[in-house]
Structure 1
Amino acid sequence: MNISSNVSSIQSHQIMMNTNANNVANVNTEGFVPSDTKMLGNENSVSANTRKADNTGSKMSQTDLAKEIPDQIVAQGATAVNVTAIKTENEMLGSLLDIKA
């Protein structure tokens, strides 16, 4: 794993969090159809794919807080892990430069 894959993961999880925040903000909006974000990854990057959920025709908001809250926890945890990986790599590079100098 390299820094660019960590950064792409952080950016993708930010998209997920933005979508999630919009869904939660509209939990009381009549007829609101939430969006859903799926993560797609390969060995070098992570990307976010966002789409509108299926409309059930309900006049009430279709936002499911039982789904949205755990999604926020996942996005927060994934971002924290990637930030830690970047910090560790930065510290390792700094140590190598100190040894070389």
Structure 2
Amino acid sequence: MNISSNVSSIQAHQTMMNTNANNVANVNTDGFIPSDTRISGNESTVSANVRKADDTGSKTSQTDLAKEIPDQIVTQGATAVNVSAIKTQDEMLGSLLDIKA
């Protein structure tokens, strides 16, 4: 794993958090149809795909806080893991440069 894959993961999870925050902010907006974010990736990159959720025809907001809150927790954890990996890679590179010098 390299730093660029960690960065792309952080960016994808930021997109997910932005979408999630918009859904939560509109929880009391009548007729609001939330968006859904799917994270996908391979060895070198991670991406976020955002789409509107299916319209149930409800007159009230269709935001489900029972889904949004756990998504925020997962996103926070994924970002923390990626930041930790970047810090570790940075420390290892620093140690390698110290050894070489």
Identity of aligned residues (%): 84
| Secondary structure at the counterpart of residue 30 of structure 1 | coil
Q: CA RMSD for the aligned pairs?
A: 0.3
Partner of 1:53: 53
Q: How do 1:54-73 residues align onto structure 2 when only pairs under 5 Å count?
A: 54-73=54-73
TM-score by length of 2: 0.99
SS of match in other structure, 1:48? strand
Determine whether 1:77 maps to 2:77: yes
TM-score by length of 1: 0.99
One-letter code aligned to 2:70? P
Determine the C-alpha separation between the residues in 1 that align with 2:17 and 2:64: 15
Q: Secondary structure at the match of 1:29?
A: coil
The alignment of Structure 1 onto Structure 2 pairs a total of residues equal to 101
CA distance in 1, matches of 2:43, 2:92: 22
**Counterpart Cα distance in 2 of 1:34 and 1:73:** 18
The question of 1:23 aligning with 2:23 is answered yes
Tell me, which stretches of 5 or more residues in structure 1 are unaligned? none
Aligned AA (1:80): A
SS at match of 2:6: helix
Runs of 4+ in 1 over 2 A off after TM superposition: none
